[in-house]
Amino acid sequence: AKPVIVAIDGPSGTGKSSTSKAVAAQLGLSYLDTGAQYRAITWWMVNNGIDTDDPSAVAAVTGKPEIVSGTDPKSPTITVDGVDVAGPIREQDVTSRVSAVSAVPEVRTRITELQRTIASAAVTGIVVEGRDIGTTVLPGADLKIFLTASPEARAARRSGELKGADLNTTREALIRRDAADSGRKTSPLAKAGDAVEVDTTELTLQQVVECVVTLVEEKR
Ligand code: C5P
């Protein structure tokens, strides 16, 4: 069978990562967390003293770090210049800067190329999660899902995952980040015209996974 490409987009805290990993594992597909790639390049910028609020400073060094993603849904990995950054990329200092870095066109061009290379190498297929996968990175995907959830549900899910933040702070930071991601010029967070929208507010993870798996099977 030909490889199946699944794009899963949506704002933070809608269950994209958990859903994407579970769907990929269940169907024997690879998995790519594109948010982790943007976080990884942001982590490198922070670590190297680059002013992340200065787009030209960011653009000038965009090609420097080597970012490698491991695509096994059961144990995805992310390294920068050979260093495992899975932990540090979830810290507040990276989370608060990632939207500014990912809005820089040079960054998007580079990371998008990486994503397309990884997707085209997946033998059975791949589940790719992010913000612009269905619209920009893989517009020819076999299935496009757009996950949504209420801001309250999203903040509650995220504060369970992130260290050192209360619910209100998390909720406000999340709304700010989504606004920045949706409002940027280059490849904003958006639902593709042919994406299936799934509101996860009232659904369990298992229900969302089942729904997406069924949709993938219909396409195969
Ligand atoms: O998914 P996650 O919350 O880890 O993504 C972190 C950030 O990376 C997003 O807030 C967004 O700024 C950026 N991102 C993006 N395009 C993607 C995936 C993530 O701009 N495809």
So what's the pLDDT on residue 133?
A: 98
In the reported structure, the alpha carbon of residue 83 is separated from the centroid of ligand 1 by a whole-number distance in angstroms of 20
The span from the CA of 137 to the CA of 130, in Å, is 10
| CATH 3.40.50.300 is the classification of domain 4-210 | yes
Q: pLDDT band for position 89 (50/70/90)?
A: very high
Q: Is the dihedral of CA 136, 32, 126, 190 positive or negative?
A: negative
Among 129-133, 155-159, 178-182, 185-189, name the one with the lowest average pLDDT. 155-159
In the reported structure, the alpha carbon of residue 38 is separated from the centroid of ligand 1 by a whole-number distance in angstroms of 6
Closest CA to 86 of 130, 19, 37: 37
- Per residue in 102-138, pLDDT tens? 999 999 999 999 999 999 999 999 999 999 999 999 9
Q: Does residue 196 come out as left (phi exceeding 0), alpha (psi in the -120 to 50 range) or beta? A: beta
Complex prediction ipTM: 0.99
The span from the CA of 10 to the CA of 115, in Å, is 17
- Per residue in 22-57, pLDDT tens? 999 999 999 999 999 999 999 999 999 999 999 999
The residues lining ligand 1, judged by C-beta closer than 6 Å to any ligand atom, are: 12, 34-35, 38-39, 98-99, 102, 130-133, 177, 181
